[in-house]
């Protein structure tokens, strides 16, 4: 689920030394819930263009390519699109002071040149899925004829011949691979393994522009992702071992929203949906509630939360409006001035314009309520009580109020689970990386039993 920390900026002090190059290795420690996570940025220069890699040695040996590195004066802007990471800082000699952000998490991060942080700490992942498998797997290509792109995915199915229920898995927001990989967690790989072992065929796909899938993720909207889902569903229904009376979508977060929108439009061939923390009321209002929950979990004072809520509500209404980009930007700037924050630097300007991209404005205008009220197929909707990104209470209330009666529909709240459906202590986004569990077994069990009962 998308999170943007609106207008809660730490203003970086101006630096006056830009004599040294950025090339080389820079390291620092990210503080997450009082624990330290070493990060390493390796900046490389090729043909006058800066690039390189980022790694988190405490989590894995993987090196993530830097999507873009921009240096302007003493300002440094780094992005790793594959994992939704950004770092914006100001360089002074061999030190960069900046802001690290990924998903909804945001923190200060100081990098030092030539100092590689090393840790012996290993964060376990208790649900890793490794071959050999007790079922068959097949790498597949799915053609999206709407947008003329080809998506890549993995189909898993029981070895024994027969007709089986089948599902497409849809990831949450941000560019994600077919395993919905985050912090070395692979929840969709875990879910796919569990479902297939229990007699359910699963198709999981790389998001467009991610992994082996074609397309441009950055310029795509929910409408484009919905077309990807429709194409994947059509492909699944063509498989000879699929029970054509039991074909559905399991979507997490934004994927759950897409499943809801398609169900509300009576997509042919869609027999049921499973929405895991899928938004169930107007996105602009959900974002206001989300930012409040995130701020509260981070320890913000109630008085500050109330002020921020009013600012966010006003700004989201501007984003949601039909104003042109320039008109909306001018109103956002005015709104910030009224709130006592003058957007007078390039980073803040970029943040404001990022809210006015066609994809984000499209997202902000979505109102799931009108679709929910038209759904005529069974729904399994689940939420965690510690979810601070898609709060369980308000979303469950919306579904209970709007969903047409269906004896097979199940709405369920899981105590102590966060947005990723991990057993958590606080629900804080920074906690995701520290939990061994990738996807709670009870949730997977309940999904299987529900699908089999249809």
Beta bridge partners of 77: 70, 88
Mean predicted confidence (pLDDT) in 310-318: 91
Task: Report the percent of the chain where pLDDT is more than 70.
Answer: 86
Residue 35 has pLDDT above 80, yes or no: no
pLDDT at 50: 79
pLDDT at 114: 76
- Mean pLDDT within 295-317: 85
What the block records as the tokens of 34 is 């009082």
Q: Is the pTM of this model over 0.85?
A: no
Contacts of residue 187, Cβ cutoff 8 Å, sequence gap at least 6: 179, 180, 252, 420, 421, 438, 439
395-421 mean pLDDT: 97
CA distance 298 to 313: 20
Better-scored residue on pLDDT, 213 or 339:
213
pLDDT tens column, 84-97: 788 888 888 888 98
Q: Identify the CA nearest to 312 among candidates 328, 330, 329, 336.
A: 336
What is the C-alpha to C-alpha distance for residues 94 and 126, in angstroms, rounded to an integer?
39
Q: In percent, how much of the chain has pLDDT > 90? A: 53
Confidence of residue 178 (pLDDT cuts 50, 70, 90): very high
Distance CA 389, CA 290 (A): 5
145 vs 126 pLDDT, higher one: 145
* Residue 99: band (very low, low, confident or very high) from pLDDT cuts 50, 70, 90: confident
Q: How many angstroms from the chain centroid is the CA of residue 141?
A: 23
DSSP-based three-state secondary structure for 28: strand
Q: How confident is the model at residue 419 (pLDDT cuts 50, 70, 90)?
A: very high
- The residue among 353, 352, 320 whose CA lies nearest residue 336 is 352
For the chain, counts of helices (H) and of strands (E): 11, 17
Confidence of residue 115 (pLDDT cuts 50, 70, 90): low
Average pLDDT over residues 171-200: 92
Tell me the per-residue pLDDT of 360-405, one tens digit each, with 9 for 90 and over.
Answer: 898 899 999 999 999 999 999 999 999 988 999 999 999 999 999 9
* Half-sphere exposure at residue 441, Cβ-oriented, CA atoms within 13 angstroms: 4
Which pLDDT score, from 0 to 100, does residue 8 have?
32
Give the pLDDT confidence score for residue 344 in this predicted structure.
61
Distance CA 405, CA 369 (A): 15
The larger pLDDT score, comparing residue 10 to residue 77, is at 77
- What is the SS3 string spanning 92-147? ECCEEEEEEEECCEEEEEEEEECCCCCCCCCCCCCCCCCCCCCCEEEEEEEEECCC
Residue in the structure block whose two tokens are 């998308």: 2
Nearest to 228 by CA among 139, 149, 138: 149
What is the mean pLDDT of the segment spanning 398-414? 98
Confidence check: pLDDT of 209 > 50: yes
Q: Share the mean pLDDT of the chain.
A: 86
Compute, in degrees rounded to 10, the torsion defined by CA atoms 18, 21, 22, 27: -90
pLDDT for position 12:
25
For the ranges 69-78, 215-224, 266-275, the lowest mean pLDDT is seen at 69-78
The Cβ-side half-sphere exposure at 173, using a 13 Å CA radius, reads 22
- Spelled out in words, what is the top-level CATH class assigned to the domain 24-113? mainly beta
Rg (CA), the chain: 22
Cis-peptide, bond into residue 132, ω within 30° of zero: yes
Q: How many CB atoms lie within 10 A of CB 232?
A: 22
| 8 A C-beta contact, residue 107 and residue 100 | yes
For residue 138, the model assigns a pLDDT of: 98
- Quick one: pLDDT at residue 13? 25
Confidence of residue 7 (pLDDT cuts 50, 70, 90): very low
Give mean pLDDT, residues 224-240.
Answer: 97
Closest residue by Cα to residue 6 from 106, 92, 83, 94: 106
Comparison of pLDDT for 112 and 265, the residue scoring more: 265
Position 132 scores a pLDDT of 95
* CA angle 100–426–436, rounded 5-degree value: 80
SS3 percent helix, strand, coil of the chain, rounded to 5, is: 30, 30, 40
pLDDT of residue 346: 63
* Out of 18-22, 77-81, 225-229, 317-321, least confident range: 18-22
Compute how many other C-beta atoms are within 10 angstroms of the C-beta atom of residue 172.
27
Q: Which residue has the higher pLDDT, 430 or 229?
A: 229
pLDDT band at residue 345 under the 50/70/90 scheme: low
Q: Do 24-113 and 136-282+366-453 agree at the fold level?
A: no
Q: Which of 366, 367, 355, 291 has the alpha carbon at shortest distance from 328?
A: 355
Is 80 exceeded by the pLDDT of residue 348? no
- Domain covering 136-282+366-453: architecture: 3-Layer(aba) Sandwich (3.40)
Q: Where are the domains of the chain?
A: 24-113, 136-282+366-453, 283-364
């Amino acid at each position: 689920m998308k999170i943007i920390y609106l207008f809660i900026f730490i203003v970086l002090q101006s630096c006056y030394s830009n004599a040294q190059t950025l090339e080389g290795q820079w390291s620092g420690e990210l503080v997450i819930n009082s624990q330290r996570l070493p990060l390493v940025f390796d900046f490389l220069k090729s043909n006058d263009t800066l690039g390189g890699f980022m790694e988190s040695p405490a989590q894995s040996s993987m090196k993530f390519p830097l999507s873009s590195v921009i240096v302007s004066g003493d300002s440094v802007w780094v992005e790793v699109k594959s994992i939704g990471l950004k770092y914006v800082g100001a360089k002074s000699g061999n030190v960069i002071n900046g802001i690290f952000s990924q998903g909804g998490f945001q923190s200060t991060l100081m990098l030092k040149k030539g100092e590689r942080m090393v840790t012996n700490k290993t964060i376990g992942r208790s649900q890793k899925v490794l071959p050999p498998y007790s079922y068959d797997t097949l790498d597949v290509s799915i053609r999206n004829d709407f947008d003329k792109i080809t998506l890549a995915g993995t189909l898993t199915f029981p070895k024994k011949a027969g007709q089986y229920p089948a599902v497409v898995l849809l990831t949450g927001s941000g560019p994600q691979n077919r395993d919905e990989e985050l912090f070395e967690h692979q929840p969709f790989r875990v879910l796919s393994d569990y479902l297939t072992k229990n007699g359910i065929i699963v198709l999981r796909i790389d998001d467009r522009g991610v992994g082996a899938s074609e397309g441009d993720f950055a310029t795509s909207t929910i409408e484009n992702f919905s077309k990807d889902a429709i194409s994947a569903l059509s492909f699944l229904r063509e498989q000879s071992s699929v029970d054509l009376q039991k074909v559905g979508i399991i979507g997490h977060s934004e994927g759950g929203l897409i499943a809801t929108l398609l169900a509300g439009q009576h997509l042919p061939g869609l027999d049921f949906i499973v929405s895991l923390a899928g938004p169930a009321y107007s996105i602009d209002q959900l974002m206001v509630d989300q930012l409040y929950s995130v701020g509260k979990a981070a320890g913000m004072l109630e008085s500050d939360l109330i002020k921020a809520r009013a600012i966010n509500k006003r700004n989201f209404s501007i984003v949601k409006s039909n104003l042109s980009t320039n008109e909306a930007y001018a109103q956002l700037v005015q709104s910030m001035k009224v709130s006592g924050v003058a957007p007078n630097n390039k980073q803040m300007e970029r943040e404001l314009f990022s809210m006015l991209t066609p994809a984000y404005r499209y997202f902000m205008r979505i109102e799931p309520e009108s679709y929910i009220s038209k759904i005529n197929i069974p729904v399994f909707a689940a939420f965690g009580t510690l979810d601070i990104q898609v709060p369980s209470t308000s979303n469950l209330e919306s579904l209970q109020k709007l969903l047409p009666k269906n004896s097979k529909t199940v709405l369920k709240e899981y105590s102590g689970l966060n947005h990723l459906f991990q057993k958590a202590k606080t629900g804080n986004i920074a906690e995701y990386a520290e939990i061994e569990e990738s996807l709670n077994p009870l949730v997977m069990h309940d999904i299987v039993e529900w699908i089999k009962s249809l």
